[in-house]
Amino acid sequence: MIYDFFISAINEGRKLLAILLDPDKLQESMLDDLIPKINESSVDVIFIGGSTVPKNATDLLVQHLRKRTSKPLVLFPGHFDQITPLADGVLFLSLLSGRNPEYLVNQQVNAVPYIENTDLEVIPTGYILVDGGKETAVQRVSGTTPIAAENIEKISRTATAGMYMGNKLIYLEAGSGALNPVAAEVIRSVKKKISIPLIVGGGIRSTIALQEAYDNGADIVVIGTAFEENSDLLTKFKKDEHIY
C-alpha cells in the first residue's frame, strides 16, 4: 500500500522523491529517454497528472509506464476524468486554499464512479496553493487565488484545518514551473503544526532547492518541470542512494 510505504519510509527517517509526469506534455519519444533514467534513479514514486490533460491521455501514459517500470504509479488529477483504474493510487485532492466549491467538493463527487469498484488506493490530500511568483496552470484552471507566500499564518492554519478534516497528506504547491518554490519558513511553520506527511512541490529545479525543502520539513518533494527539461538531472539521484 502506497500510504503505508510513505509512513514507514518517513518513520525510518527517509525523505521521498516523486517525479511528476504530465500526460499533456510528454510524447512517447520522451518516455523512451525518461523511463530508464527514472528506473535507475532513487525516485520513489511517480505522480501522474496535469491541469489540462486530453481525455484518455492518462490511461495511455499509465499503461505505458506499467509495462516499463515497477515504481508506484499515483494519480495527481487536475480533473476527475484523469482517473484511471490502471494506476496504483490516487491523491484525492481538495483545493483548500481556494474557495471554489468545484475543487472543494464537486470534482470529488464526480470522481466516485471512476474510483469505486477499482483497486485504486485513495489517499485524501489537502492541497494548498501558495503564490509562486507567477500565475500557474492550477490557479488558472481552478479559478482560485493562491495564498500569499508571506501569509504564513494562513497557510499553516489551512494545513492544520486540512488535517483536522481527515486528510492523510498535506501538499504545499507553488504551481508547476513556479518562479519561487514554497519558502523554507512556510514549510517549517506548516511542518510544526501537522502530524501527517508533508508534500512540497512547484518550482524546485536543483538539488540545493530539494535539500532545502527536506531540511525544513518536507517529507516528499515533487519535481516535474526540471526533470522534463533536463532528464539528466535524474542521474544525480542514483538508485539506492538516498539523500537521507
Which residues of the shown chain bind ligand 1GP in the complex (CB under 6 A)?
A: 20, 173, 176-178, 201-204, 222-226
Q: What is the C-alpha to C-alpha distance for residues 123 and 3, in angstroms, rounded to an integer?
A: 7
CB of 76 to ligand 1GP, least distance (A): 7
Output 118 or 123, the one with its CB closest to ligand 1GP: 123
Q: What is the C-alpha to C-alpha distance for residues 98 and 126, in angstroms, rounded to an integer?
A: 11
CB of 207 to ligand 1GP, least distance (A): 13
Output 27 or 240, the one with its CB closest to ligand 1GP: 27
Output 111 or 222, the one with its CB closest to ligand 1GP: 222
Which residue stretches of the chain are H helix?
Answer: 2-11, 28-39, 57-68, 101, 107-115, 137-142, 152-164, 184-193, 207-215, 225-229
Q: One-letter amino acid identity for 57?
A: A
Per-residue cell: 126? 489537502
CB of 116 to ligand 1GP, least distance (A): 26
CB of 201 to ligand 1GP, least distance (A): 2
Output 169 or 222, the one with its CB closest to ligand 1GP: 222
Q: What is the C-alpha to C-alpha distance for residues 136 and 52, in angstroms, rounded to an integer?
A: 12
Residue with the CB atom nearest ligand 1GP in the bound state: 201
